[in-house]
């Protein structure tokens, strides 16, 4: 039995995603497809345009059999943390045999070599890392430069790992190596617009699609079912939710936290806390704030992620533990009729509890080897994130909490 595993955000699902899925299917010819998907907050440090339930429906309509939620603590981290959560989830299913991800270079050998540098942590790599840290670089940046040093010595073109999908690919491969996963990794070549391209082409970027939504333009490059789902959500007043909608809360929250409060959170040091507080105090909207905070290395995405850490109270210890021990449950957001079969197999084989009913969470934890306190922290954040997100809806009647306590979506 071949089971394809993919990592997605579908924010929202567009033709590029469809192409990617079709190519993966052609490559693997799987019996089933499992996707691990970000919840209501996504890796670029933003709320998703529509909520995880609507995006799960898109995934199922696109041909995914089972959708598992990537816990929020991983979904809003950088490439390394995001990869840690998603690969560990796919591995924990104990049914996924093949993982496919997109890559600009589509040269998996090189990406694997780069990954092994991170995993093996040679003497040379470590001393180079230490040197950069000593020079005052942040850990992610120091690590990047240490990797560049190593790969340029091996004659690998460092430009290769400056592309976002290659970077993420390297991180996926590093996690696979580290946990000695049985899953086979494959890449397919990414086509169409690049990540941040705002111009709509036949294969659009999710950024371009969101921009069309924001400015009320015709949305091009999305399948008919995405259209229907978006229309339904928007007319009910459940979205679209934009990062701008966080601004007022974020500003007040950061003023109350103050510099000392921020410094206790993940991703903040004195300098970053100071810079962000000063910027937010003098801004009247999100764009303003981001522009005032940005530096060459402190990109919009990094700032937005940190803004989310402040909004959601993400503390350092929790992220550290989560990255060390991995996700403590497999939360099922939805499945197809076909997927139900796979779900049954998964429920008996998975190394972490499979949660289809959040209100039975505590009972589910008893069954398998789980770090119970960490599991609670992770789930609590997921539930809070859903509630918080729902309270941002424009339609007051839709501002309801506890949406996570509904049954998973099941479609034919």
What are the residues binding a copy of itself (CB under 8 A)?
248-249, 251-253, 255-258, 261, 281, 284, 311-313, 380, 384, 387-388, 391, 396, 399, 401-402
Q: Where are the alpha helices (DSSP H) in 179-269?
A: 206-214, 224-236, 247-263
Angle at 169 between CA 200 and CA 310, to 5 degrees: 75
Using only C-alpha atoms, the chain has a radius of gyration, in whole angstroms, of 21
- Under the phi-then-psi rule, with left for phi > 0, alpha for psi from -120 to 50, and beta for the rest, what region is 216? left
- Among residues 41, 8, 59, the alpha carbon closest in space to that of 384 is found at 41
Pairwise CA distance, residues 276 & 139, whole Å: 19
DSSP state of 265: B
Least separation in angstroms between residue 39's CB and a copy of itself is 15
Least separation in angstroms between residue 313's CB and a copy of itself is 6
- Residue with Cβ nearer a copy of itself (49 or 280): 280
Least separation in angstroms between residue 226's CB and a copy of itself is 29
User: Tokens 């033709």 label which residue?
Assistant: 15
- Among residues 72, 53, 77, the alpha carbon closest in space to that of 393 is found at 53
Least separation in angstroms between residue 380's CB and a copy of itself is 7
- Residue with Cβ nearer a copy of itself (15 or 306): 306
Least separation in angstroms between residue 309's CB and a copy of itself is 12
Least separation in angstroms between residue 384's CB and a copy of itself is 6
User: Tokens 């109270």 label which residue?
Assistant: 313
**Total count of residues recorded for the chain:** 412
Pairwise CA distance, residues 228 & 60, whole Å: 14
User: Tokens 């905070």 label which residue?
Assistant: 293
Contact 229, 57 (CB under 8 A): yes
Angle at 358 between CA 353 and CA 359, to 5 degrees: 115
Contact 191, 203 (CB under 8 A): yes
- Residue with Cβ nearer a copy of itself (248 or 317): 248
- Residue with Cβ nearer a copy of itself (200 or 290): 290
Least separation in angstroms between residue 399's CB and a copy of itself is 7
Name the token pair of 147. Answer: 């990797």
Least separation in angstroms between residue 194's CB and a copy of itself is 35
User: Tokens 């950088």 label which residue?
Assistant: 78
Least separation in angstroms between residue 248's CB and a copy of itself is 8
- Among residues 184, 187, 163, 171, the alpha carbon closest in space to that of 118 is found at 171
Contact 98, 183 (CB under 8 A): yes
Least separation in angstroms between residue 195's CB and a copy of itself is 30
Contact 322, 368 (CB under 8 A): no
Pairwise CA distance, residues 321 & 340, whole Å: 32
Q: What is the dihedral of CA 164, 170, 175, 181, to 10 degrees?
A: 120
Least separation in angstroms between residue 188's CB and a copy of itself is 39
């Amino acid at each position: 039995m071949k089971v394809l595993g993919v990592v997605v955000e579908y924010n929202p699902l567009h033709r590029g995603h469809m192409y990617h899925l079709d190519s993966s299917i052609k490559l693997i010819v799987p019996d089933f497809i499992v996707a691990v998907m970000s919840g209501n907050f996504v890796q670029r440090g933003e709320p998703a345009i529509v909520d995880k339930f609507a995006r799960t429906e898109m995934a199922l309509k696109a041909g995914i059999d089972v959708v598992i939620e990537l816990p929020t603590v991983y979904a809003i981290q950088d490439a390394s943390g995001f990869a840690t959560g998603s690969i560990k989830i796919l591995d924990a299913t104990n049914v996924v045999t093949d993982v496919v991800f997109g890559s600009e270079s589509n040269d998996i050998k090189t990406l694997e070599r780069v990954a092994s540098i991170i995993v093996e942590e040679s003497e040379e790599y470590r001393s180079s890392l230490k040197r950069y840290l000593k020079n005052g670089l942040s850990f992610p940046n120091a690590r990047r430069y240490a990797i560049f040093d190593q790969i340029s010595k091996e004659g690998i073109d460092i430009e290769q790992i400056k592309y976002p999908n290659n970077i993420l690919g390297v991180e996926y491969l590093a996690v696979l190596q580290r946990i000695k996963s049985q899953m086979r990794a494959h890449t397919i070549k990414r086509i169409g617009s690049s990540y941040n391209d705002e111009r709509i082409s036949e294969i659009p970027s999710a950024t371009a699609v969101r921009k069309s939504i924001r400015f009320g333009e015709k949305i091009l490059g999305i399948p008919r079912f995405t259209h229907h789902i978006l229309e339904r959500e928007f007319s009910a007043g459940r979205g679209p939710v934009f990062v701008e909608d966080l601004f007022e809360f974020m500003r007040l929250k950061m003023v109350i936290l103050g510099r000392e409060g921020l410094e206790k959170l993940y991703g903040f040091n004195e300098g970053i806390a100071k810079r962000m507080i000063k910027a937010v105090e003098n801004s009247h909207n999100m764009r303003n704030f981001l522009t005032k905070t940005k530096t060459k290395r402190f990109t919009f995405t990094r700032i937005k992620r940190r803004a989310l850490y402040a909004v959601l109270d993400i503390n350092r210890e929790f992220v550290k533990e989560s990255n060390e021990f991995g996700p403590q449950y497999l939360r099922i957001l939805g499945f197809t009729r076909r997927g139900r079969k796979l779900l049954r197999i998964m429920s008996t084989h998975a190394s972490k509890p499979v949660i289809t009913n959040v209100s039975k969470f505590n009972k589910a934890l008893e069954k398998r080897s789980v770090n119970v306190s960490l599991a609670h922290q992770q789930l609590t954040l997921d539930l809070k994130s859903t509630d918080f997100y729902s309270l941002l809806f424009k339609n007051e009647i839709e501002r309801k909490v506890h949406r996570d306590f509904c049954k998973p979506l099941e479609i034919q």
